[in-house]
């Protein structure tokens, strides 16, 4: 059975390895230079620094002792919270792990005072996943730093 929990400082190295592993297997629609940038950017040192910032949330999905998924969220303004990264190991996808991670992030966001939940994805195949969770597609499609089109989703709470 998979449990969703906040990242503990003692698990940051495992979390970092999971993050890199999922970047490698799950973000192949990103250009190679963008994949490299993200893997180099999200270092253990950066995770450690953000870990102690109350506006960041690091969630892990754990089955027994194995980390199988993660969510990184950020509370940006007094009223808006955003998912920065969400990933589940391919072998574990389709088991509602992503939905549970998002649900925990939503609860955290509500406690932080958020009224608007917002995020974007460059993986257009994920649109159905987010719609099932009650998110509406924004009217605009934006481009990220690498020129990739991204869908923007939002939910008022």
pTM listed for this prediction:
0.93
Dihedral over alpha carbons 27, 33, 38, 40 (to 10 degrees) = 130
In the predicted structure, residue 31 carries a pLDDT above the cut 90: no
Percent of the chain's residues with pLDDT above 90: 69
Model confidence pLDDT, tens digit, residues 68-102: 999 999 998 889 999 999 999 999 999 999 999 99
Average model confidence (pLDDT) for the chain? Answer: 92
Q: How confident is the model at residue 32 (pLDDT cuts 50, 70, 90)?
A: confident
Residue 5 Rama label (left phi>0; alpha psi -120 to 50; beta): beta
Q: For the chain, what are the domain ranges?
A: 2-156
Mean of pLDDT values over 45-68 = 95
Q: Which CATH number is 2-156's, of 3.40.630.30, 3.40.50.970, 3.90.1150.10, 2.60.40.1080? A: 3.40.630.30
């Amino acid at each position: 059975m998979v449990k969703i929990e906040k990242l503990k400082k003692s698990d940051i190295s495992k979390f970092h390895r999971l993050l890199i592993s999922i970047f490698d297997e799950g973000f192949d629609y990103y250009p190679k230079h963008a994949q490299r940038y993200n893997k180099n950017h999200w270092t253990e040192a950066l995770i450690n620094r953000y870990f102690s910032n109350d506006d960041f949330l690091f969630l892990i999905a754990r089955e027994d002792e194995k980390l199988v998924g993660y969510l990184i969220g950020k509370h940006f303004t007094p009223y808006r919270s955003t998912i920065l990264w969400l990933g589940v190991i391919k072998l574990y996808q389709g088991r509602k792990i992503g939905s549970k991670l998002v649900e925990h992030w939503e609860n955290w966001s509500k406690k932080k005072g958020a009224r608007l939940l917002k995020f974007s994805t460059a993986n257009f195949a994920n649109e159905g996943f987010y719609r099932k969770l009650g998110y509406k597609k924004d009217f605009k499609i934006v481009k990220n730093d690498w020129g990739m089109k991204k869908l923007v989703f939002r939910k008022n709470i």
